[in-house]
Amino acid sequence: MKQAEYNSTSDILHKIEDIEREIMGLKMSVLKKIMPNGKKIVSLKGILKGVRISENDMAKAKKSLYSKTGI
| Model pLDDT for residues 16-42, shown as the tens digit of each residue | 999 999 999 999 888 888 876 667 777
| Model pLDDT for residues 35-62, shown as the tens digit of each residue | 766 677 777 778 888 888 899 998 898 8
Q: Quote the pTM value.
A: 0.41
Which positions ≥6 away from 15 have C-beta within 8 Å? 4, 6
Q: At 6, is the pLDDT very low, low, confident or very high (cuts 50, 70, 90)?
A: low
Cβ(36)–Cβ(42) below 8 Å: no
